[in-house]
Amino acid sequence: MVKTVAVIGAGISGLAAVKSCLEEGLEPTCYEKRDDIGGVWRFTDNVEDGSPSIYKSLVSNSSKELMSLSDFPMPENFPNYLPNAKYLEYCKLYAENFQLMKHIKLKTTVCNVQRHSDFSLTGKWVVVTKNGEEKNTTVFDAVMICTGQYTQPVLPLDSFPGIKNFKGEILHSRDYKKPVGYDGKKVLIIGMGNSGVDISTDLCTKASQVYLSTRRGVCVFRRLGPDGLPVDLSFTTRFRSLVQKTVPTAVSRMMINQSMNEQFNHGLYNIQPECLLSKEPLINEELPSRILAGLIIMKPGVTRFTETSAHFSDGTSVDDLDVVILATGYHVKFPFLEESVINVDNNKGFLYKKIFPVNLQQPTIAFICFIQPIGPLMVIAELQCRWATRLFKGLLKLPSTKEMKDHLDEDEMFRLHWFETAHQNWRRVDYVQYLDNLASDINVKPNILKLMLTDPVLGFKLLFGPNIAYQYRLSGPGKWAGARKTIMTQWDRMEKPLRTRGMKKSSPSPIAVFASLLPWFLCFVVLCAAILIKG
Ligand code: NAP
C-alpha cells in the first residue's frame, strides 16, 4: 500500500502535489533544489543551472480567476493578470494556508530516481538526494515528478549554418532578464513563441532595431476581451468547448480565425500561422502596435549567419547585428530518472492521460504538468495531482496496458485532427475536455444538466461562464464547502482591483457576454436544427 511519496520540485505543481497527498492521508516529502518555493514564477537575477528562469517583465497570460487553484481563490485585490512576483506571492499564501512548508526540503537536489529491486512486487522507488555535501538515499512508495517543462533550453545551432562564426552575442531566451545593456543595439530574436514575442516588445524601445524571425507565424490574442474583461473569461468556457466539439471542424476553425483577426489582420502583419492551431497561440497586446511603429520588423526563418549578418528564407538579410536571442523553447527531459521509464515517442508521448507511463506495471509514479493546454497549466496540474493520489491509494484503477496504448493512439488522432499535426506535440490537449475527463475519472465533475434543474444560476455559470477550478470541489472526494460561494463571487474578485478610484460598483454586462457567445450559440442552434430535421 502506498504511504510515502517523494514529490520532486516545489513550484505550483509540487505544492498542489503535496496538498493532494495530505488530502488522501499520504506522507509527502517534497525536494526543491533552489532555496525557495515557486518554481518558474520565481524571478532571480542569475540563471541557475537546471532551474527555470524568467525575465523580470513576465506577466501571466491567463487571468487570476482561471489561475486560482480549486479551494484557494486569489485575494480580491490581486490584479487580473499577474506579474510573476504576484503569482509567487500566491504560491506562498497557498503553502502557508495549507501548511505545506514543513513537508518541503529546500536546497535539496534529486540526483537519481530508480526502481527498487523488488519494484515488480512493491512498486517502490529509490531516491538519491543531495544537500550541500550530504547525500541521502530514501525508499519511497511513490514518486510525483513536478520539475516543470522549462529547464532544458533548445539550442538548435545546427539549424543555422555559420552561426559559430557570428561575432556578436548569442543567448537563449532563458538568459534574458531585463532590457539592460541593449541600448542602440541591433537585435535578432528567433522564434515566435510567448518568450520571443514578450522579449521583443520588452526590448524594442531600447534597441536600435529589433527583428523577430518566425518560420510558421502564430495566432496572437490580447489579454483584453469584450468589454475590457480578461479574454479568457469568455474564451475558456464549457459552452464554447461544447460547440467546438459539435460543429464541423471547418466552422469552428472559421470562428477561431475570425476572433484571431478581430484585433488585427494577421495576414497584413505577415504573421498568419501556417496552420491555425498547429502552434500554441500566444498572448500579447503590444506586438501589433510595435510593428506598426516599425520598432519590431518581422522576418521569416533564418537560413544562415555570417560574422555580422543573418540571412533569411526570402532572400533578405540584416547586417551589423549585435545580438541574437534564441527564443526557441525547451526540451522535456528528466536527467535524474532511470531512462527505461521514459520512452518518449515524438508523436504519441509515453503517458496515459499525460500522467502515467504506459509501459510501467506498478501505478506508483506520476508526471505532473507535462502538458500544453490553451489555458492555465496550474489548474490542470492540481487535478492531475488529485487523480494521481487517488491512483496511488488504489481508489482509481488503470485500464490494461493495451487499453492505455490504444488511448495514446486515439489521442494522437485527436491531435492530428484538431491541431493538424501530431508531431512533437504530444503534450497538447483541449483544456476543458481534458479537465472534465480527469474530473470524471475521480468523480468530481459537476453534473451540469442536474444543476440546471436544481441550482440553475450555478448551472448557468458553469456552462456559459469561465471554466474555473472551484467547480471541481462542488461534489465528490475533496468536496469543499466554499466552492459554490466562490463561484458566485468571481465577478467581485475580478472587479475589485479595477475599482481603485472608489467608484460605484458595476455589474457584468449581459449584452457583452451574450454578444461574445452569440456566434457560437447560433452555430449550435443551426447544428441542432439540422440534426433534428435530418433525423
Ligand atoms: P515555444 O513556445 O516552444 O516557442 C519556441 C519557438 O521557437 C517555436 O514556436 C518556433 O517558432 C521556434 N523554434 C523552435 N525550434 C526552432 C528551430 N530549430 N529553428 C528556429 N526556430 C525554432 O517556447 P517559449 O516561447 O519559450 O514558451 C515556452 C512555454 O512557456 C510556452 O508554453 C509559453 O506559453 C510559456 N510562456 C508563457 C509566458 C507568459 O505566461 N507570459 C511567457 C513566456 C513563455 P517559429 O515557428 O516562429 O519559428
pLDDT, tens digit (0-9, with 9 covering 90-100), for 109-159: 999 999 999 999 999 999 999 999 999 999 999 999 999 999 999 999 999
Cβ atoms 28, 35 nearer than 8 A: no
- Looking from the CA of 531 toward its CB, the CA atoms found within 13 Å total 9
Q: Which of 194, 192, 237 is nearest to 217 (CA)?
A: 192
CA of 319 to the centre of ligand 1 (A): 25
Q: With bands split at pLDDT 50, 70 and 90, how would you rate the model's confidence at 476?
A: very high
The Cα 485–Cα 490 span in angstroms is 9
What is the model's pTM?
0.94
The pLDDT of 152-170, averaged and rounded, is: 96
pLDDT, tens digit (0-9, with 9 covering 90-100), for 272-330: 998 888 889 999 999 999 999 999 999 999 999 999 999 999 999 999 999 999 999 99
The Cα 138–Cα 375 span in angstroms is 36
Pick the atom of ligand 1 nearest to 301's CA. Answer: 48
Q: Which of 524, 443, 509 is nearest to 233 (CA)?
A: 509
The pLDDT of 395-400, averaged and rounded, is: 96
- Does 329 sit in the ligand 1 pocket, CB within 6 Å? yes
The Cα 344–Cα 162 span in angstroms is 31
The Cα 366–Cα 209 span in angstroms is 45
Give strand pairing partners of 152. Answer: 331
CA of 328 to the centre of ligand 1 (A): 5
Give strand pairing partners of 81. Answer: 63
Give me 417's grid cell. Answer: 485532427
CA of 428 to the centre of ligand 1 (A): 14
Of all protein residues, the one whose alpha carbon is nearest to atom 15 of ligand 1 is: 328
Q: What is the DSSP secondary-structure string of 317-365?
A: EE-S--EEEE---EE---TTB-GGG---BTTTBSEETTTEETT-SS--E
Q: Which domains does the chain have, with CATH numbers?
A: 4-151+331-437 (3.50.50.60), 155-328 (3.50.50.60), 447-497+505-534 (no CATH)
- Kindly list the distances between the CA atom of residue 120 and the CA atoms of 116, 458, 512, in Å, as whole numbers in the listed order: 9, 47, 57
CA of 269 to the centre of ligand 1 (A): 19
Range of weakest confidence among 5-19, 224-238, 316-330: 224-238
Of all protein residues, the one whose alpha carbon is nearest to atom 34 of ligand 1 is: 194
- Does 290 sit in the ligand 1 pocket, CB within 6 Å? no
- Does 200 sit in the ligand 1 pocket, CB within 6 Å? no
Phi, psi of 366 (to 5 degrees): -140, 135
What pLDDT does 319 receive?
A: 98
- Does 215 sit in the ligand 1 pocket, CB within 6 Å? yes
Give me 334's grid cell. Answer: 528528466
Give strand pairing partners of 323. Answer: 169, 187
- Does 29 sit in the ligand 1 pocket, CB within 6 Å? no
The Cα 109–Cα 336 span in angstroms is 10
pLDDT higher than 70, residue 533 = no
- Does 496 sit in the ligand 1 pocket, CB within 6 Å? no
The pLDDT of 329-346, averaged and rounded, is: 90
- Does 379 sit in the ligand 1 pocket, CB within 6 Å? no
- Does 196 sit in the ligand 1 pocket, CB within 6 Å? yes
The pLDDT of 370-389, averaged and rounded, is: 97
Q: With bands split at pLDDT 50, 70 and 90, how would you rate the model's confidence at 519?
A: low
Helix (H), strand (E) at residue 283: strand 282-283
- Does 201 sit in the ligand 1 pocket, CB within 6 Å? no
- Kindly list the distances between the CA atom of residue 295 and the CA atoms of 195, 198, 218, 264, 283, in Å, as whole numbers in the listed order: 17, 14, 19, 17, 19
The single-letter DSSP state of residue 74 is: P
Long-range CB pairs of 411-418 (<8 Å, 24+ gap) are: 411/348, 411/349, 412/347, 412/348, 417/249, 418/249, 418/277
The single-letter DSSP state of residue 164 is: G
- Does 51 sit in the ligand 1 pocket, CB within 6 Å? no
- Does 191 sit in the ligand 1 pocket, CB within 6 Å? yes
Helix (H), strand (E) at residue 143: strand 142-145
* 399: number of Cβ within 10 Å: 12
